[in-house]
């Protein structure tokens, strides 16, 4: 596939078995002059034919397609003619699990179906869809520029500073995050001496199954965070979609999780910034913040707060990000003490903790 140029419209194929959804999604895509719907498909076999004939830059794909499932379509696309695919899924339990499998197979991102004939959350869904398509197309263009030096903040001023061992690790990620987290968390040991907090931007209904999937892959225990849980070493807490995750110190030795819909005037709920700002306030220089792949700038203010408190801040590098947006913002602000490839993040965590494998 030839990546779209910066001047040509991004060619999009809409694949969905519902005529209503095909029309609704097409109108949303066409609302942006930089995007162009080149075709639609109603069945699985038709989707593969249209991809081969039209060579779209980005495909939106319904999980439940007649004739050939969305997962089978995705497998064939990734094998025969790889390109960014954004999965459109129902928010039911089975839809969430299928979507997580799609992300493992190589889907670029997912979007939950929140449209019906009686209720159209047009503005929010349209903005999200357009943003994801643009990010997907941009990832193709960025792939051609991987050889450029990654933006790295100046580090001499911090390299000589002896950092204290973190008492918590807080991670923020978005587009490309589910796959990235599955390449980081399984490398952490069951006796990890701290707890880990994670905000991953996902649709409502997806974080529970995702936490369970991670738990099955990891030595550490992974949970969807609940209000009042005690932050415990060797445990990972994933913010539930639609609610913020913060922490508060209940006693000198005990920190508990808070799950709430407030503040509600932010773009992302859960918000990486809200979580990291809370971590910086409670743990100060004993916090470790990690910002990973994702579009936009959520997390920059929180990483800045941890940086200012003297905590350790780590960013994923451009070459290994699905979308170099959130880490780029932090790098350009100069609040990252280290910039590393995705594969180095587990070792960064263990080294910061001074972890030594028991004999």
Q: What's the pLDDT at 149?
A: 37
Q: What is the pLDDT of residues 16-31, one digit of tens each?
A: 999 999 999 999 999 9
Local mean pLDDT, 10-residue blocks, the chain (359 residues): 70 95 94 96 97 96 92 92 87 72 85 60 79 83 47 37 80 92 96 97 88 95 98 98 96 96 88 97 97 92 97 96 91 97 97 83
Q: What's the pLDDT at 108?
A: 87
The alpha carbon of residue 102 and the mean position of all alpha carbons in its chain are separated, in whole angstroms, by: 14
Q: Is 51 exposed, middle or buried (0-12, 13-18, 19+ CB in 10 A)?
A: buried
Helix %, strand %, coil % of the chain (to 5): 40, 20, 40
Active-site positions?
174, 201, 298
Q: What is the pLDDT of residues 311-322, one digit of tens each?
A: 999 999 999 998
The mean of the pLDDT values for the chain is 88
Q: What is the pLDDT of residues 185-220, one digit of tens each?
A: 999 999 999 999 999 998 888 899 999 999 999 999
Residue 102, token pair as written in the block = 């799609």
Structural domains in the chain, CATH included, are: 10-143 (3.40.50.2300), 156-353 (3.40.50.180)
Q: What's the pLDDT at 98?
A: 85
Q: What is the pLDDT of residues 303-350, one digit of tens each?
A: 999 999 999 999 999 999 988 889 999 999 999 999 999 999 999 999
d(C-alpha 276, C-alpha 286), whole Å: 13
């Amino acid at each position: 596939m030839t990546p779209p140029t910066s001047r040509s419209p991004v060619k999009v194929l809409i694949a969905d078995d519902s005529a209503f959804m095909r029309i609704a999604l097409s109108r949303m895509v066409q609302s942006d002059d930089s995007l162009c719907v080149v075709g639609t498909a109603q069945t699985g076999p038709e989707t593969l034919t249209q991809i081969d004939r039209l060579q779209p830059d980005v495909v939106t794909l319904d999980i439940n397609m007649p004739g050939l499932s969305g997962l089978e379509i995705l497998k064939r696309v990734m094998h025969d003619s790889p390109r960014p695919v954004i999965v459109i899924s129902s928010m039911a339990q089975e839809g969430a699990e299928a979507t997580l499998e799609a992300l493992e197979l190589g889907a670029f991102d997912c979007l939950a179906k929140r449209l019906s004939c009686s209720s159209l959350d047009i503005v929010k869904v349209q903005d999200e869809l357009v943003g994801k398509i643009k990010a997907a197309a941009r990832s193709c263009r960025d792939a051609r520029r991987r050889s450029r030096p990654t933006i790295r903040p100046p580090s001499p001023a911090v390299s000589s500073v002896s950092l204290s061992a973190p008492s918590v690790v807080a991670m923020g990620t978005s587009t490309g995050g589910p796959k990235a987290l599955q390449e980081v968390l399984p490398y952490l040991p069951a006796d990890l001496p701290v707890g880990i907090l994670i905000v991953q931007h996902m649709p409502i209904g997806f974080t529970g199954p995702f936490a369970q999937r991670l738990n099955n892959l990891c030595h550490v225990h992974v949970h969807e965070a609940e209000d009042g849980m005690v932050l415990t070493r060797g445990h990972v807490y994933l913010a539930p979609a639609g609610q913020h995750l913060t922490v508060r110190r209940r006693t000198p030795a005990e920190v508990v999780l808070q799950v709430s819909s407030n503040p509600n005037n932010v773009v992302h709920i859960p918000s990486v910034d809200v979580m990291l700002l809370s971590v910086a306030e409670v743990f100060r220089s004993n916090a470790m913040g990690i910002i990973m792949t994702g579009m936009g700038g959520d997390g920059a203010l929180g990483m800045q707060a941890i940086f200012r408190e003297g905590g350790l801040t780590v960013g994923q590098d451009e070459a290994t990000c699905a979308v170099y947006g959130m880490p780029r913002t932090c790098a350009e602000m100069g609040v990252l003490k280290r910039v590393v490839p995705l594969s180095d993040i587990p070792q960064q965590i263990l080294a910061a903790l001074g972890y030594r494998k028991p004999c």
